[in-house]
Amino acid sequence: MTDADERGDEAVPPVADRADDVAERAAVARRAAEAGAAVAHESFRSDIAVETKGEDDVVTEADRAAQRTVIEAIRESFPDDAVVGEEEDERKTVPEEGAAWVIDPIDGTNNYVRDVRVWATAVAAVVDGEPVAAAIVAPALGDTYTADATGAYRNGEPIAVSDVDEPRKAAVDPTIWWAYDARDEYTRACEAIVTRFGDMRRLGAAQVVLPTVAAGGLEGTITNLRANPWDTVAGVFVIRQAGGRVTDLEGDRWRHDSKGVVASNGALHDEVLAAARAIEDPD
Protein backbone atom coordinates (compact mmCIF):
# COMPACT_ATOMS: atom_id res chain seq x y z
CA MET A 1 0.00 0.00 0.00
CA THR A 2 1.36 3.42 -0.93
CA ASP A 3 1.36 6.51 1.28
CA ALA A 4 -1.32 7.97 -0.97
CA ASP A 5 -3.52 4.90 -0.43
CA GLU A 6 -3.14 5.22 3.34
CA ARG A 7 -4.16 8.89 3.16
CA GLY A 8 -7.14 8.15 0.95
CA ASP A 9 -5.70 10.48 -1.69
CA GLU A 10 -5.32 8.93 -5.12
CA ALA A 11 -1.83 8.80 -6.50
CA VAL A 12 -1.14 11.31 -9.24
CA PRO A 13 -1.74 9.50 -12.55
CA PRO A 14 1.14 9.25 -15.00
CA VAL A 15 1.00 12.26 -17.29
CA ALA A 16 4.27 12.26 -19.20
CA ASP A 17 5.96 9.46 -21.03
CA ARG A 18 9.57 10.56 -20.60
CA ALA A 19 11.43 11.40 -17.41
CA ASP A 20 13.72 13.77 -19.29
CA ASP A 21 10.74 15.77 -20.53
CA VAL A 22 9.46 16.19 -16.97
CA ALA A 23 12.94 17.19 -15.78
CA GLU A 24 13.16 19.82 -18.51
CA ARG A 25 9.75 21.21 -17.59
CA ALA A 26 10.82 21.42 -13.95
CA ALA A 27 13.94 23.35 -14.93
CA VAL A 28 11.96 25.72 -17.16
CA ALA A 29 9.35 26.27 -14.43
CA ARG A 30 12.09 27.36 -12.05
CA ARG A 31 13.84 29.61 -14.56
CA ALA A 32 10.57 31.24 -15.56
CA ALA A 33 9.44 31.79 -11.96
CA GLU A 34 12.81 33.24 -10.99
CA ALA A 35 12.80 35.58 -13.99
CA GLY A 36 9.28 36.81 -13.32
CA ALA A 37 9.94 37.23 -9.60
CA ALA A 38 13.04 39.30 -10.34
CA VAL A 39 11.01 41.69 -12.49
CA ALA A 40 8.33 42.02 -9.82
CA HIS A 41 10.90 42.52 -7.09
CA GLU A 42 12.47 45.46 -8.95
CA SER A 43 9.25 47.45 -8.44
CA PHE A 44 8.47 46.22 -4.92
CA ARG A 45 8.14 49.06 -2.39
CA SER A 46 8.18 51.66 -5.16
CA ASP A 47 5.60 54.23 -6.24
CA ILE A 48 4.12 51.88 -8.82
CA ALA A 49 0.56 52.74 -9.83
CA VAL A 50 -2.19 50.49 -8.48
CA GLU A 51 -5.30 49.72 -10.53
CA THR A 52 -8.44 47.84 -9.53
CA LYS A 53 -9.90 44.71 -11.14
CA GLY A 54 -13.34 44.52 -9.61
CA GLU A 55 -14.36 45.44 -6.09
CA ASP A 56 -11.66 43.71 -4.05
CA ASP A 57 -8.84 42.94 -6.51
CA VAL A 58 -5.87 45.05 -7.55
CA VAL A 59 -3.25 44.87 -10.30
CA THR A 60 -0.07 46.74 -11.16
CA GLU A 61 2.18 47.07 -14.19
CA ALA A 62 4.58 44.82 -12.28
CA ASP A 63 2.01 42.00 -12.55
CA ARG A 64 1.84 42.44 -16.30
CA ALA A 65 5.59 42.82 -16.80
CA ALA A 66 6.33 39.80 -14.65
CA GLN A 67 3.79 37.69 -16.55
CA ARG A 68 5.30 38.70 -19.89
CA THR A 69 8.73 37.72 -18.58
CA VAL A 70 7.48 34.34 -17.34
CA ILE A 71 5.86 33.59 -20.69
CA GLU A 72 8.96 34.61 -22.62
CA ALA A 73 11.06 32.21 -20.54
CA ILE A 74 8.60 29.37 -21.16
CA ARG A 75 8.36 30.07 -24.89
CA GLU A 76 12.13 29.74 -25.29
CA SER A 77 11.82 25.99 -24.62
CA PHE A 78 8.15 25.21 -25.24
CA PRO A 79 6.85 27.66 -27.86
CA ASP A 80 3.67 25.73 -28.67
CA ASP A 81 2.37 24.97 -25.16
CA ALA A 82 -0.80 26.60 -23.85
CA VAL A 83 -0.41 29.19 -21.08
CA VAL A 84 -3.02 29.76 -18.38
CA GLY A 85 -2.40 33.10 -16.68
CA GLU A 86 -4.10 35.65 -14.48
CA GLU A 87 -3.26 38.81 -16.40
CA GLU A 88 -3.93 40.08 -19.91
CA ASP A 89 -5.26 37.79 -22.64
CA GLU A 90 -3.93 34.37 -21.60
CA ARG A 91 -6.43 31.54 -21.36
CA LYS A 92 -8.17 31.11 -18.00
CA THR A 93 -8.84 27.37 -17.87
CA VAL A 94 -6.50 24.38 -17.77
CA PRO A 95 -6.78 22.15 -20.86
CA GLU A 96 -7.58 18.50 -20.16
CA GLU A 97 -5.28 17.28 -22.92
CA GLY A 98 -1.76 18.24 -23.87
CA ALA A 99 0.94 20.29 -22.20
CA ALA A 100 0.26 23.65 -20.57
CA TRP A 101 1.66 26.11 -18.05
CA VAL A 102 -0.27 27.72 -15.20
CA ILE A 103 1.28 30.98 -14.02
CA ASP A 104 0.68 33.74 -11.50
CA PRO A 105 3.13 36.64 -11.87
CA ILE A 106 2.38 38.08 -8.42
CA ASP A 107 0.21 36.06 -6.07
CA GLY A 108 -0.55 38.28 -3.12
CA THR A 109 -0.76 41.58 -4.98
CA ASN A 110 -2.66 43.13 -2.07
CA ASN A 111 0.37 42.38 0.12
CA TYR A 112 2.70 43.59 -2.62
CA VAL A 113 1.08 47.01 -2.90
CA ARG A 114 1.08 47.38 0.90
CA ASP A 115 4.85 46.71 1.00
CA VAL A 116 4.30 43.39 2.79
CA ARG A 117 6.87 40.76 1.81
CA VAL A 118 4.38 37.85 1.53
CA TRP A 119 3.91 37.43 -2.23
CA ALA A 120 5.28 35.11 -4.88
CA THR A 121 5.59 34.26 -8.54
CA ALA A 122 4.23 30.78 -9.29
CA VAL A 123 4.68 28.55 -12.34
CA ALA A 124 3.31 25.02 -12.79
CA ALA A 125 3.82 22.68 -15.72
CA VAL A 126 0.83 20.45 -16.42
CA VAL A 127 0.27 17.63 -18.88
CA ASP A 128 -3.23 16.30 -19.58
CA GLY A 129 -4.57 18.46 -16.74
CA GLU A 130 -2.17 17.17 -14.08
CA PRO A 131 0.84 19.05 -12.69
CA VAL A 132 4.25 17.48 -13.26
CA ALA A 133 6.48 20.28 -11.96
CA ALA A 134 6.19 23.57 -10.10
CA ALA A 135 8.23 26.51 -8.89
CA ILE A 136 7.17 29.24 -6.47
CA VAL A 137 9.58 32.10 -5.89
CA ALA A 138 9.03 34.54 -3.01
CA PRO A 139 11.97 36.93 -3.52
CA ALA A 140 11.16 39.33 -0.69
CA LEU A 141 11.17 36.35 1.69
CA GLY A 142 14.26 34.76 0.17
CA ASP A 143 12.46 31.46 -0.51
CA THR A 144 12.19 29.36 -3.64
CA TYR A 145 9.97 26.27 -3.55
CA THR A 146 10.18 23.64 -6.25
CA ALA A 147 8.58 20.27 -6.86
CA ASP A 148 9.23 17.60 -9.44
CA ALA A 149 9.08 13.83 -9.78
CA THR A 150 11.67 13.40 -7.02
CA GLY A 151 10.01 15.44 -4.27
CA ALA A 152 9.55 18.96 -2.94
CA TYR A 153 12.26 21.46 -1.99
CA ARG A 154 12.82 24.86 -0.40
CA ASN A 155 15.98 26.61 -1.51
CA GLY A 156 17.26 23.28 -2.79
CA GLU A 157 16.72 21.36 0.46
CA PRO A 158 14.05 18.63 0.73
CA ILE A 159 10.90 19.58 2.64
CA ALA A 160 8.09 17.55 4.16
CA VAL A 161 4.77 18.31 5.80
CA SER A 162 4.65 18.43 9.59
CA ASP A 163 3.96 15.34 11.69
CA VAL A 164 1.60 17.17 14.07
CA ASP A 165 -1.42 14.98 14.75
CA GLU A 166 -3.09 16.90 17.60
CA PRO A 167 -5.47 19.67 16.56
CA ARG A 168 -4.56 21.87 19.54
CA LYS A 169 -0.96 21.94 18.33
CA ALA A 170 -1.91 22.82 14.75
CA ALA A 171 -2.05 26.13 12.86
CA VAL A 172 -4.42 26.56 9.90
CA ASP A 173 -4.86 29.38 7.38
CA PRO A 174 -8.15 30.52 5.76
CA THR A 175 -7.02 31.21 2.21
CA ILE A 176 -8.41 32.69 -1.04
CA TRP A 177 -10.18 35.97 -0.33
CA TRP A 178 -13.94 36.07 0.19
CA ALA A 179 -15.85 38.85 -1.57
CA TYR A 180 -17.15 41.63 0.63
CA ASP A 181 -20.72 40.35 0.36
CA ALA A 182 -19.58 36.89 1.54
CA ARG A 183 -17.94 37.95 4.79
CA ASP A 184 -20.31 35.66 6.68
CA GLU A 185 -18.44 32.77 5.06
CA TYR A 186 -15.10 34.30 6.01
CA THR A 187 -16.36 34.66 9.57
CA ARG A 188 -17.41 31.01 9.68
CA ALA A 189 -14.05 29.94 8.23
CA CYS A 190 -12.23 31.77 11.01
CA GLU A 191 -14.58 30.39 13.66
CA ALA A 192 -14.19 26.85 12.31
CA ILE A 193 -10.43 27.17 12.61
CA VAL A 194 -10.13 28.83 16.03
CA THR A 195 -12.60 26.41 17.64
CA ARG A 196 -10.83 23.31 16.29
CA PHE A 197 -7.13 24.15 16.19
CA GLY A 198 -4.47 25.73 18.35
CA ASP A 199 -3.86 28.76 16.15
CA MET A 200 -4.83 30.56 12.97
CA ARG A 201 -2.71 32.43 10.42
CA ARG A 202 -3.77 34.54 7.45
CA LEU A 203 -0.82 35.15 5.17
CA GLY A 204 -2.81 36.65 2.30
CA ALA A 205 -1.17 34.82 -0.61
CA ALA A 206 -2.28 31.29 -1.43
CA GLN A 207 0.89 30.47 -3.35
CA VAL A 208 2.88 31.24 -0.20
CA VAL A 209 0.41 29.52 2.14
CA LEU A 210 0.40 26.23 0.21
CA PRO A 211 4.19 25.69 0.17
CA THR A 212 4.26 26.74 3.83
CA VAL A 213 2.00 23.76 4.52
CA ALA A 214 4.38 21.64 2.43
CA ALA A 215 7.34 22.76 4.53
CA GLY A 216 5.61 22.14 7.87
CA GLY A 217 5.01 25.77 8.87
CA LEU A 218 1.25 25.22 8.81
CA GLU A 219 -0.78 22.06 9.26
CA GLY A 220 -3.52 23.08 6.84
CA THR A 221 -5.33 25.69 4.79
CA ILE A 222 -8.99 25.87 3.75
CA THR A 223 -11.47 27.62 1.52
CA ASN A 224 -14.93 26.71 0.28
CA LEU A 225 -14.44 28.76 -2.89
CA ARG A 226 -13.67 27.51 -6.38
CA ALA A 227 -10.15 28.87 -6.66
CA ASN A 228 -8.46 30.03 -9.84
CA PRO A 229 -5.85 27.57 -11.12
CA TRP A 230 -3.07 30.19 -11.05
CA ASP A 231 -3.68 30.62 -7.31
CA THR A 232 -3.42 26.93 -6.51
CA VAL A 233 -2.00 24.41 -8.98
CA ALA A 234 1.69 25.00 -8.25
CA GLY A 235 1.25 25.04 -4.48
CA VAL A 236 -0.98 21.98 -4.45
CA PHE A 237 1.67 20.01 -6.34
CA VAL A 238 4.35 21.10 -3.87
CA ILE A 239 2.21 19.87 -0.96
CA ARG A 240 1.57 16.51 -2.55
CA GLN A 241 5.23 16.01 -3.36
CA ALA A 242 6.02 16.88 0.27
CA GLY A 243 3.72 14.12 1.53
CA GLY A 244 0.57 16.13 2.22
CA ARG A 245 -3.00 15.73 1.08
CA VAL A 246 -5.28 18.06 -0.89
CA THR A 247 -8.99 17.42 -1.50
CA ASP A 248 -12.17 19.26 -2.38
CA LEU A 249 -15.06 19.84 0.06
CA GLU A 250 -16.32 16.29 -0.56
CA GLY A 251 -13.01 14.80 0.43
CA ASP A 252 -12.21 13.75 -3.13
CA ARG A 253 -8.82 14.33 -4.70
CA TRP A 254 -8.48 18.03 -5.63
CA ARG A 255 -8.26 19.08 -9.26
CA HIS A 256 -7.80 22.45 -10.89
CA ASP A 257 -11.58 22.76 -11.35
CA SER A 258 -12.66 21.55 -7.89
CA LYS A 259 -14.89 23.48 -5.50
CA GLY A 260 -13.02 24.25 -2.33
CA VAL A 261 -9.39 23.66 -1.42
CA VAL A 262 -8.65 21.55 1.66
CA ALA A 263 -4.92 21.05 2.13
CA SER A 264 -3.27 19.42 5.12
CA ASN A 265 -0.31 17.48 6.42
CA GLY A 266 -2.41 14.32 6.01
CA ALA A 267 -2.44 13.39 9.69
CA LEU A 268 -5.07 16.05 10.44
CA HIS A 269 -6.96 15.97 7.17
CA ASP A 270 -10.28 14.83 8.63
CA GLU A 271 -10.25 17.74 11.09
CA VAL A 272 -9.19 20.25 8.43
CA LEU A 273 -11.91 18.94 6.09
CA ALA A 274 -14.52 19.31 8.84
CA ALA A 275 -13.47 22.94 9.30
CA ALA A 276 -13.78 23.60 5.56
CA ARG A 277 -17.24 22.04 5.42
CA ALA A 278 -18.39 24.18 8.37
CA ILE A 279 -17.97 27.31 6.24
CA GLU A 280 -21.15 26.44 4.33
CA ASP A 281 -22.80 24.16 6.89
CA PRO A 282 -21.97 25.36 10.42
CA ASP A 283 -24.33 22.78 11.92
- Binding residue positions: 86, 104, 106-107, 231
CA dist 102 and 125 (Å) reads 7
CA dist 202 and 225 (Å) reads 16
C-beta of residue 237 within 8 angstroms of C-beta of residue 251: no
Residues flagged as binding site for Mg(2+): 86, 104, 106-107, 231
Cα 130 to the chain's mean position, in Å? 14
